[in-house]
Structure 1
Amino acid sequence: ALQDEAAFLQAAKQMIAGVPIEKQPGMAYTVSKNFVVWYTSRMAVRYGSKGIRVVSISPGTFKTPMGDIEGE
């Protein structure tokens, strides 16, 4: 993801294509959460040597059907 964005996106699409179609809509949440955990770890390693602690990265909020349900 950090060196070749196109290759990363292609690999993600291939992974999702291997999941039954009825389960694919739920994959976005799972994949994005795992990516944030991975990216946070990478940034902790990258910046730790500079004395910077990275313990969390928040991509922000997005309007989604799940968020609408939670809002109700």
Structure 2
Amino acid sequence: MHNVQIGENCIIVAQVGISGSTRLGNNVTIAGQVGVFGHLKIGNNVMIASQSCVSVNLCDGEQV
């Protein structure tokens, strides 16, 4: 997780990979076995389900 910024109160579960220069907002939940591409912005209060692959920016409150 090179140069990744993680906001307050985030939950990141086992086997999560976050590529470089990605920014997580506050209260983000990332379930197990998730991959996040680099240079993305994940908004506040986002929930990402297990075994997901995130390749685009996510706005506040999104669930994927």
Please give the TM-score of this superposition, normalised by the length of structure 1: 0.19
More helix by share: 1
Whichever structure has more strand as a proportion of its residues is 2
Q: Which has the larger radius of gyration?
A: 1
* Higher RCO (C-alpha 8 Å, min separation 6): 2
